[in-house]
Amino acid sequence: MTAQLRQPLDREASWRVIEQQRRAIADVLAELTPAQWESPSLCARWRIRDVAAHIALTPQPPSLGALFAAGLRANGNYNRLIHDLTVRAANRPVAELVSAIRTHAASRKLPGPTNYRNILFDTMVHGQDIAIPLGRTIDIPADAAATGAATAAEIGWPVWDKRRLDGLTLRATDIDWSYGAGAEIRGPIKALLLLVTGRAAALENVTGEGVPALAARLLAG
């Protein structure tokens, strides 16, 4: 399956969006109460504090030694590795987390075997993980969301089960973008980006005959 998008963001444009998103996230975090820092995010099992720590860690990855030790503790499980590193980093004072995100907002350092395309969708989605449950708004450029959704939709093991989108067509209503083949799901590209990355909260913003099937897959875990 391939995504249909007239012009995906290039490297330079992607990094500009990543920087803008990091700064917008830091601005939201700087206004939070202690209780809000501990409240659940849209990212399963992570508090707002944990998501902030993950964003702060991205341009400041642990050393290879620390990654190796964490990998052993996680028994080679990628998602557990990311979770463990993040939760450990989340113990830092919240002011340090905000400062780290701001200080490294323009950093183009890539952690491990990843690339700027992955950092683009990861940063945008985690910004929404923070903003939406708190009733805040972090705007995402439609072309950036479309580029991110196209990247995320093609990622399978060890992050996601790639079959989660089988038999479905995702079609944006606010930009010329679609992905897949089958029962259609229609909605704003921001909602589709969140659905592609497993955020069931975005189901209320889409319509179409494919919604029940995707809802069942997302809610099943």
Q: What is the pLDDT along the chain (221 residues), one digit of tens a residue?
A: 556 666 899 999 999 999 999 999 999 999 999 999 999 999 999 999 999 999 999 998 766 666 666 666 767 666 677 777 888 889 999 999 999 999 999 999 988 778 999 999 999 999 999 999 999 999 999 999 999 999 999 998 777 888 899 999 999 999 999 999 999 999 999 999 999 999 999 999 999 999 999 999 998 87
Q: How many CB atoms lie within 10 A of CB 60?
A: 14
- Burial of 72-90, coded b for 16+ CB within 10 Å and e otherwise, reads eebeeeeeebbbebbbebb
pLDDT of res. 85: 83
pLDDT of res. 89: 84
Contacts 24+ apart (CB under 8 A), 82-91: 82/54, 83/45, 83/46, 85/57, 86/46, 86/50, 86/53, 86/54, 86/57, 87/50, 87/53, 89/53, 89/54, 89/56, 89/57, 90/47, 90/49, 90/50, 90/52, 90/53
- Structure token digits, residue 103: 């200080």
Phi, psi (rounded to 5 degrees) for 32: -80, 150
pTM of the model: 0.92
- Structure token digits, residue 203: 């189901």
CB 29 within 8 A of CB 136: no
